[in-house]
Amino acid sequence: MGMVAAINELQRHCNYAFSRMGNFLIDRTGSSNPLVSKPVATEQTYRELAKTAAAQIYPEIDEFEIANAFAIAPAWLHDLALHTQIVVKKSPLCYAHGRILYSALSRYLAENPRLSKINILETGTARGFSSLCMARALSDMGRHGSIVTFDTLPHQVPIYWNCIDDINGKRSREALLAPWADLVQEYLVFLQGDTRMMLQRVNLGRVHFAFLDGAHTHTDVIFEFRQVAVDQRPGDTVVFDDYTPCQYPGLVKAVDEICNLYNYVPKKLFAHSGRGYVVAIKQ
């Protein structure tokens, strides 16, 4: 089954699942706001947070970009992050994964020039930051591809996102990402649903590149990986977010097992002590 057919099949499964649940999830997210119930900061606060986050230096990420010979345009990255990554929370803001995804995917594309179309899977869409960083890589490299991205959050239902755009009222993810509509329309497919219900029902075929950032339990990471890896070939890549032992020991254990048992070579990267990532390449 090709990726387009798989997408259609996934959408049918999503619709079926939601009809069985009485559209509970859609109604819930539309009425009670799963993230925040109202704007939680002023525009000035978000811009100050963005300025601080953009000024952070991550030597390991710098070295990774230099080694790959690909780096995302900083101004574009920071503008996207202002709307999709700058939130009010207790832990330090860090969106270095956008740099990693762009650099790793660009390197993959450069090493595989004969692939006519790239199939990419993401779990954990959130506001769409990671998806757009990967879409930017496809666009900059002049390549065709599809990025299928899953989340339980709706794409077309207006909600508050805990971001700077909340000051103008609720909006859907679709509206939030309107400034990047060209990339969205060209590359992105947003699916709402639980990957534990959807992924195992459809054969996605070969997934050349994946970013797994859904549930962080050992069981969920292993499950999502197995759905992705079944048709991967040498050189294909899976990127794991939040490889941070002190916060997500189950995820770390799962990633280590995956690399040891399934013949993936890991590149471990740390922005700081509280935020780590793994770029795993199939051998």
Mean confidence (pLDDT) of the chain: 90
Rounded CA-CA distance 135/188 in Å is: 7
Provide the CB-side half-sphere exposure for 8 (13 A, CA): 4
pLDDT tens digits along 5-55: 555 555 555 544 443 433 344 444 444 678 999 999 999 999 999 999 999
Residue 73 binned pLDDT confidence (cut-offs 50, 70, 90): very high
Q: Quick one: pLDDT at residue 180? A: 98
Q: How confident is the model at residue 261 (pLDDT cuts 50, 70, 90)?
A: very high
- With b meaning 16 or more CB within 10 Å and e meaning fewer, what string describes 205-221? eebbbbbbbbbbebebb
- pLDDT > 90? residue 250: yes
Instruction: Supply the pLDDT for residue 241.
Output: 97
Note the pTM of the prediction, 2 decimals. Answer: 0.90
Residues constituting the chain: 283
As beta bridge partners, residue 269 has: 277
Q: pLDDT at position 20, please? A: 40
pLDDT at residue 21 in the model? 38
Q: What is the total count of domains within the chain?
A: 1
Q: Which residue has the higher pLDDT, 104 or 23?
A: 104
Structural domain for 166, as ranges? 3-282
pLDDT above 90 as % of the chain:
82
Confidence of residue 248 (pLDDT cuts 50, 70, 90): very high
Q: What is the pLDDT of residue 198?
A: 82
pLDDT at 32: 63
CATH of the domain at 149: 3.40.50.150
